[in-house]
Amino acid sequence: MAKKEKWVVRDKNKRNVFWPSVEMRERAWVGTDRFYKDAAKNPMDFWACLARDGLDWFKEWKKVYESKPPYFKWFLGGKLNASYNCLDRHLKDKGNKVAIIWESEPLEERERKITYRGLYREVCKFSNVLKKLGVKKGDRVGIYLPMIPEVMVSMLACARIGAVHSIVFSAFSGINFRKRVEDCGAKVLVTCDGYWRRGKQINLKKQADVAAKAKTVKKVVVVKRFTGKDELKLPMRKGRDYWYHELMAKASEDSKPVPVESNTPLFLLYTSGTTGKPKGVIHDTAGYLTQAYWTTLWDFDLHEDDVFWCTADVGWITGHTYNCYGPLSVGATMVIYEGSPDMPNWGRLWKIADKFDVSVFYTAPTAIRMFKKMGCELTKGYDLSTLRILGTVGEPIDLETWLWYFGCIGNGRCPVIDTWWQTETGGTLVNALPGIGPFIATVAGRPFPGTRAEILDEKGKPVKKGRTGYLVFKPPFPPGLLRGVWKNPKKYRDTYWREYGPKVYYTSDGAKWFDKHNIRVTGRVDDVMKVAGHRLSSAEIEDAITSHPEVIVSAVVPKPDEIRGQVPVAFVVLRPGVKPSPEVEASIVKQVRKEIGPTAKPHQVFFVKGLPKTRSGKIMRRFLKSMLVNEKLGDASTLQNPEIVGYLKKVVGYKRK
């Protein structure tokens, strides 16, 4: 692939709008609107063609789609195996191709490169390990691992024997892991002794032991990450705990993939609701894998010479789909990194991108804002000319951050693919395709071909262009969409199908049409408030505040008010060098009045040094809400910055003991 190619051209008539260059269109898998038009005529036939062309089947389906609202199925009666589709079928032509490039946090450690054949052998052996430990088809396996290759091995080994994996983010506490293990009834846990984070050894086995006390857990497999002088002295309970490397040394490489029916659960992924109680989202095999395959191929335009790097942890859905099932099913080479992006400095990611000639880079706006704060000069000395596509995921991206990403990291030559999707959707559903565009700053793009997105008002009527409404999807539903909530059908119905009825999937996200085809997502609307009878979204007010030139990020939550019911309260992080003052506050309030109207203006503005965030970068507004009314705050162990809670208590004047 040629370096320093210009992959985008600027729209001469519209500001901050870009189009694919001739070179991009010629290279792209999808370079014409025909795909959208053909898919819209008959979405079921469209997805059937994609499932047939993208995946290998042991038995083809009898029926493409069936709906019994709010439940539905794709490719009924078909049989396949996800592990086979990610590994076995590549062995003939891509056996020696590198599948995974692993970079450790310590600079002195050598990277690991694992070929498709090498990964296949490891997965086969570990699938036999699991079977020997008593895991059968349909059993659940709890995985509690950091970003090391063994996490992909564990996932694919479960899929190979028809077991259901449930991964829990390694930075979550042992208590959080146990809650999820108990809910899904996992009988085997896979963890490791520990991992590196900001130069420190994190003892993960100690946390895993908390979850291992769950009644259903019979065996625990422990990967040894630390050896020699770094080795951790861990308590290993005889008869329950086993070293991964010892079990693997005795395991056979002979393991035939177990065919499963299309709608068989592939994995559970727990996501926290507004109450903080996790719910186990169920994803099936065939529908999920079809969407993972084609969104990976088309969204990121992956070719044989590409190196793909999604920075998400595998504990989140982005890591499941774009750090495992998507890239491996298309036969791509991907990078995974164990540690923190600031080790030893904020240039680490660019060092890795340069080192491995990364061509497609996919990360979150939260990370990009942090990179921007540290400055573009940290990219100097690193060759980023192999970059071809930049992606963003996790939350709406503001204009300034989008432009910085495009200009500093992409050098004004790479499209920014702003993807919208959810844990529940399994894969991306709204974004521009590299060969079609347009790439519009702060606008996610078009609904993926074969999906039917609409934006509705509170009465279920389509909104006009420029008006904010609620993003929904109508049948036939995307193949990767969740199939239920584990052991909680009521939660499934109430969360996703109650707002507009059982035939409309409610995303809980606000959105507006930018033009005839393209959607701008404004953010979550389950964080809403009623101010003097007006329903306002926290995300929309935050968007207005963040557009202020002296603001980095903000969070808006409601506070009870005797007259207006609720009023917005803003927590604002200012740019370095900007000092809080009445003038700055007045300017921010004026900005909100201008963007939304007087009803939305903040009743109070707290200037703070940081906000409570999860490890994936999402702001935990419930902590801020509770502080304002002196309610119990709840567990802060899932935060990436739990120390911020004590600081914010003092700022707000929190009085509960």
User: Is there a domain that residue 63 lies in?
Assistant: no
User: Is there a domain that residue 439 lies in?
Assistant: yes
The backbone region for 245, taken as left when phi is positive above 0, alpha when psi lies in -120 to 50, beta otherwise, is alpha
Taking alpha carbons only, the member of 167, 173, 176, 272 closest to residue 623 is 272
Q: Does residue 396 sit in the same domain as residue 430?
A: yes
**Which token pair is 105?**
């946090």
Last residue of a domain, one of 502, 524, 546: 524
pLDDT, tens only, 72-109: 999 999 999 999 999 999 999 999 999 999 999 999 99
pLDDT, tens only, 357-373: 999 999 998 889 889 88
> Regarding beta strands 416-418 and 389-392, do their DSSP bridges make them parallel or antiparallel, or are they unpaired?
parallel
Whether residue 435 has pLDDT greater than 80: yes
pLDDT, tens only, 132-142: 999 999 999 99
Q: Does residue 635 sit in the same domain as residue 502?
A: no
Residue 395 DSSP label = S
**Which token pair is 174?**
């042992």
| CA–CA separation, 158 and 121 (whole Å) | 14
- Which domain range does residue 416 map to? 1-57+73-79+288-310+322-524
Q: Does residue 519 sit in the same domain as residue 531?
A: no
How far are the Cα atoms of 72, 266, 344 from residue 478, in angstroms, in the given order? Answer: 10, 16, 42
Last residue of a domain, one of 471, 504, 524: 524
User: Is there a domain that residue 341 lies in?
Assistant: yes
Q: Does residue 345 sit in the same domain as residue 494?
A: yes
Q: Does residue 131 sit in the same domain as residue 224?
A: yes
Q: Does residue 520 sit in the same domain as residue 536?
A: no
User: Is there a domain that residue 275 lies in?
Assistant: no
User: Is there a domain that residue 541 lies in?
Assistant: yes
Q: What is the pLDDT of residue 396?
A: 84
Q: What is the pLDDT of residue 22?
A: 95
Q: Does residue 328 sit in the same domain as residue 467?
A: yes
Q: Does residue 330 sit in the same domain as residue 429?
A: yes
pLDDT, tens only, 309-347: 999 999 999 999 999 999 999 999 999 999 999 999 999
Q: What's the mean pLDDT when you consider all of the chain? A: 92
**Which token pair is 175?**
């208590």
Whether residue 566 has pLDDT greater than 80: yes
User: Is there a domain that residue 657 lies in?
Assistant: no
CATH number assigned to the domain comprising residue 630: 3.30.300.30
Stated as kind and residue range, the H or E segment containing 473 is: strand 469-474
Q: Does residue 533 sit in the same domain as residue 476?
A: no
Q: Does residue 531 sit in the same domain as residue 507?
A: no
Q: What is the pLDDT of residue 600?
A: 85
CATH number assigned to the domain comprising residue 37: 3.40.50.12780
More reliable by pLDDT, 634 or 568? 568
Name the pLDDT band for 538 (thresholds 50, 70, 90).
Answer: confident
| CA–CA separation, 554 and 573 (whole Å) | 6
Name the pLDDT band for 467 (thresholds 50, 70, 90).
Answer: confident
> Regarding beta strands 307-310 and 360-363, do their DSSP bridges make them parallel or antiparallel, or are they unpaired?
parallel
Q: Does residue 391 sit in the same domain as residue 421?
A: yes
Q: What is the pLDDT of residue 532?
A: 65
Whether residue 657 has pLDDT greater than 60: no
pLDDT, tens only, 3-32: 578 999 999 999 999 999 999 999 999 998
Q: What is the pLDDT of residue 395?
A: 82
- Give the Cα-Cα-Cα angle 107, 343, 365 (nearest 5 degrees): 130
Q: Does residue 88 sit in the same domain as residue 37?
A: no
Identify the three-state secondary structure at position 493: helix
Total domains, the chain = 3
**DSSP letter string, 100-138:** EEEE-SSTTSPPEEEEHHHHHHHHHHHHHHHHHTT--TT
**Which token pair is 403?**
């432009």
Taking alpha carbons only, the member of 475, 576, 455, 462 closest to residue 518 is 455
Name the pLDDT band for 387 (thresholds 50, 70, 90).
Answer: very high
Q: What is the mean pLDDT of residues 491-498?
A: 94
Max distance between CA atoms of the chain, in angstroms, equals 71
pLDDT, tens only, 178-223: 989 999 999 999 999 999 998 999 999 999 999 999 999 999 999 9
Last residue of a domain, one of 524, 559, 584: 524
User: Is there a domain that residue 435 lies in?
Assistant: yes
Identify the three-state secondary structure at position 81: coil
- Give the Cα-Cα-Cα angle 454, 456, 457 (nearest 5 degrees): 170
